[in-house]
Amino acid sequence: MYISTRGKDNNFGAAEAIVAGIAADGGLFVPTIVPKVTTEWLANLTNLDYGKRAFNILSLFLPDYSDAELGLCIEAAYTAAKFDDPKIAPLVSIGDDKFVLELWHGPTSAFKDMALQILPQLLSKALKKTNEKAEIVILTATSGDTGKAALEGFADVDQIKIIVFYPDKGVSPIQRMQMVTQAGSNVSVVAVRGNFDDAQTGVKNIFNNIEFNTDLAVQGFQLSSANSINWGRLAPQIVYYFSAYADMVRDGHLQLGQPVNFVVPTGNFGNILAGYYAKIMGLPIGKLICASNSNNVLTEFLQTGVYNRKRPFHKTVSPSMDILISSNLERLLYYITEGDTLQVKSFMAELNDSGQYNVGEDYLTAIQQIFWADYVDDNETLQTIKTIYDECNYLTDPHTAVAWQVGDRYRQQTGDHTTQIIVSTASPFKFNESVLTAIGDSNNLEGKNEFEILQQLSELSGCPVPSALAALENEPIRHEMVCDKEDMSVIIKQILKNSK
Ligand SMILES: *Cc1c(COP(=O)(O)O)cnc(C)c1O
């Protein structure tokens, strides 16, 4: 069963928690009991493929899904048609004690696919199981990666529509192309005149507009969100931590039971929190190393116990981590306080009222037994991409480079040389300009279009352009709507009316 981190909503089934997304008291759903696994159970994973590993792990958290239902969800999500590597989340060796877990072989070339390929399947089944008759409308404001991954995942899924708003000047050319060419009978993409905050504020206002939502309900529609606070997005991310470990053991890089450290480029704290679940389930993880860019709110929190969102917002070369409120941290607080929901609620109220909270010495000590944190600025990020390319002949995107550098600092500062797995969250091709600039090949970018730049990166790296990115060049533009931020709700009504 699932309960809210703030204590009010109790005893939801997994399907109900996935349909609800967020608890009515504003908290996040957490499982009342985190399942524990044994060494034999772990050993058994080594011989399975990714889909079967996913089945073994997800079935522990989703007992209200039948084996057949869960099997269908997994089959639809992690297929060769969607992922360009049959291993789904391959592990690359960079030496004896450093490995990279590549989570970007899905259709949008970023790690969001790992969860957003399966969340729509889980949600669609959950609607049937909870007897929900309304048509669900997923509303998303995106700064780039999430929007496209959600579109890919939700396209043509039964009983669900998706509408994505993106800032017309706020996404990269590749990201825009990925979205405006999206196919699917149930998808809409709209550019908002403004920046990401305008689009996101617009969406938040629409969620909170009771009159608007009542109006939609009369027409048989219910709004929902695909963001990373949904349990159906978090649970699938636990799988790749186990999968990486199983690969390490199978290939003889680790003895079963030997610890490994993960370094995770972090924004909303969803990815690294999935690692925390893996650890408390019994996966032998030593430290979870939290890597941030100049938006270093998490670094400060994990080092001092003070979470303070009152700070300047930096636009960086690792934009998917440009975030000041890491929503999933609330789930960690729930576990660190040993389920003290009143305490969690009061931290969250402080954050809301004064922009900060302090967890104090005891909780900080408990947190630091598991987490370590540091951050890297843009200059150093680009420098790191170059160093890795020169020394290891491996090409990383800026987010992964942030993690790599923080992982190195961890070793220098702590002397802990436990094997590290760097969690790689985006293909270097997705951030091609930063990567070419970093490895010193930016002077001949001028006058080139996006596809010529991708080609240049491919030649330089010897890696093929991901096929979904290469194919964009020949895709027709399917979405040309543009609106002012004041008109987002009008546009939604128009889209839904036309879809009837
Ligand atoms: C979303 C994202 C992140 C941050 O992940 P969180 O789960 O929000 O911490 C890091 N890198 C990339 C490329 C992303 O798209």
> pLDDT digit string (tens) for 214-265?
999 999 999 988 888 899 999 999 999 999 999 999 999 999 999 999 999 9
Range 247-284 burial, b when 16+ CB lie within 10 A, else e = bbbbeebbeeeeebbbbbbbbbbbbbbbbbbbbebbbb
Assigned token pair, 307: 């979470």
Q: Please state the separation of Cα 27 from the chain's center in Å.
A: 19
pLDDT at 229: 87
Q: Is the C-beta atom of 144 inside 6 A of ligand 1?
A: no
Average pLDDT, the chain: 94
Q: Radius of gyration over alpha carbons of the chain, in Å?
A: 22
CA 33 to CA 41: how far, in whole Å? 18
- How confident is residue 63, by pLDDT bands cut at 50, 70 and 90? very high
Mean pLDDT of 270-287: 98
Asked if 420 and 98 count as a contact pair (C-beta separation under 8 A), the reply is yes
Q: Is the C-beta atom of 269 inside 6 A of ligand 1?
A: yes
Residues 6+ apart with CB under 8 A from 301: 307, 308, 329, 373
Nearest alpha carbon, ligand 1 atom 8: 268
Nearest alpha carbon, ligand 1 atom 2: 320
> pLDDT digit string (tens) for 26-36?
899 999 999 99
Backbone phi and psi for residue 71, each to the nearest 5 degrees, phi listed first:
-60, -40
- Greater model confidence, 9 or 138: 138
pLDDT at 272: 98
pLDDT at 288: 98
- How confident is residue 364, by pLDDT bands cut at 50, 70 and 90? very high
Asked if 424 and 397 count as a contact pair (C-beta separation under 8 A), the reply is yes
Q: Is the C-beta atom of 112 inside 6 A of ligand 1?
A: yes
SS3 at position 13: coil
Asked if 450 and 177 count as a contact pair (C-beta separation under 8 A), the reply is yes
Q: Is the C-beta atom of 396 inside 6 A of ligand 1?
A: no
> pLDDT digit string (tens) for 420-474?
999 999 999 999 889 999 988 767 777 888 899 899 899 888 889 998 899 999 9
SS3 at position 64: coil
Q: Is the C-beta atom of 316 inside 6 A of ligand 1?
A: no
Kindly list the catalytic residues. 112
pLDDT at 397: 96
> pLDDT digit string (tens) for 279-336?
999 999 999 999 999 999 999 999 999 999 999 989 899 988 988 888 899 999 999 9
The rounded Å distance from CA 402 to ligand 1 centre is: 12
**Which of 136-140, 164-168, 272-276, 453-457 shows the highest mean pLDDT?**
272-276
Q: Is the pLDDT of residue 51 over 90?
A: yes
Nearest alpha carbon, ligand 1 atom 11: 425
> pLDDT digit string (tens) for 174-187?
889 999 999 999 99
Assigned token pair, 250: 């199978």
> Which of 108, 145, 321, 431 best tests ligand 1's pocket when mutated (most atoms within 8 Å of CB)?
321
CA 328 to CA 267: how far, in whole Å? 10
Strands (E), 266-347: 285-292, 306-308
pLDDT at 142: 87
Asked if 142 and 323 count as a contact pair (C-beta separation under 8 A), the reply is no
Percent of the chain clearing pLDDT 70 (strictly above): 99
Comparing 74-88, 339-353, 444-458, which segment has the lowest mean pLDDT? 444-458
- Nearest ligand 1 atom to the CA of 271 is 7
Percent of the chain clearing pLDDT 90 (strictly above): 82
